[in-house]
Structure 1
Amino acid sequence: MTSLLGLASEQKFEWNVEVEKKFNEVFDNIDTDKNGKLTFDEVKDRVLTGVLRQMGQNPTDSEIKQYLDGIDRDGDGTVSKEEFREWIKELMTILKDPQKSLDLALQVMFKACDLDGNGKLSRKEFSKFLKERGFPLQNDEVRELFMAVDNDGDVTSLNKEELLSVMSAGRIGHN
């Protein structure tokens, strides 16, 4: 299996001349105005929307912006080549470690669900997230799920650890 930058998945990730060349090709392909910075529209049109739609996802503009904000370290509203390079390096390192991959997936899912950004998922947020992804649950099913994984005594919301419990038990979208 080959990664985004053309590395076989069993290879140890090392940033070298070949990877830098492929990285520059990827970045330059996304940077349509050739100003050395990736904008929301470039990423939306060239990467996230196309790739995610092929995977059966339909990201909203706010989800795409939230994703970009995580890469945009200087907060200028764009992703520089250096910011993108550092993100790719981190991503490649994470992909080599199953626990880090799971942690990243949990973090992304949690952020996507946590609409009000308070660090907890309400039943309403969780239900909306599942419904948008084709797994609608009835209110009583969500309530039972929250009660089953509750670790902190608050059965009205999930924290990240409780969400991980739901995911690892395969309780979402499986009968």
Structure 2
Amino acid sequence: MPIYEVKAFWDEYEVKAFNQPLNEEELKGIFKKHDKNGNGRLSRKELKKTFEELGAWIPDWRALRDFATQMPMLKGIFKKHDKNGDGRLSRKELKKAFEELGAWIPDWRAWRGLSNADANGDGFISEEEMNSLVLYAMRFGYTVK
């Protein structure tokens, strides 16, 4: 079982170990640990093992590539549904976004997405919480075609 929880990747990642954010040096240490030949680069196999340890639900290389393209597109779908332009998504706005993404029960999916991504508990998804919402949507197979 992974000891880390990955909230997002790339330049806007938040990785938690036992609910404590990892600093850059700790994260580099994890990647260095999986660099078996010590060349400063991770092979596909090494990268997959690293992300598995970090608890990634998409450790496969192809999935990582798809992740890089899907994340901004999903963010765009969610942001498009910020109808009042306040920079936050309400449950009603989330429901409309999940309807567009093809959810079978969009109100339930919006409620679950809000429950998973609303870190400060204010009942809205802010810009800071958007990565968590996108990861939640991707975990359940929502993509932009």
Normalised TM-score (structure 1): 0.34
Higher relative contact order (CA 8 A, sep 6+): 2
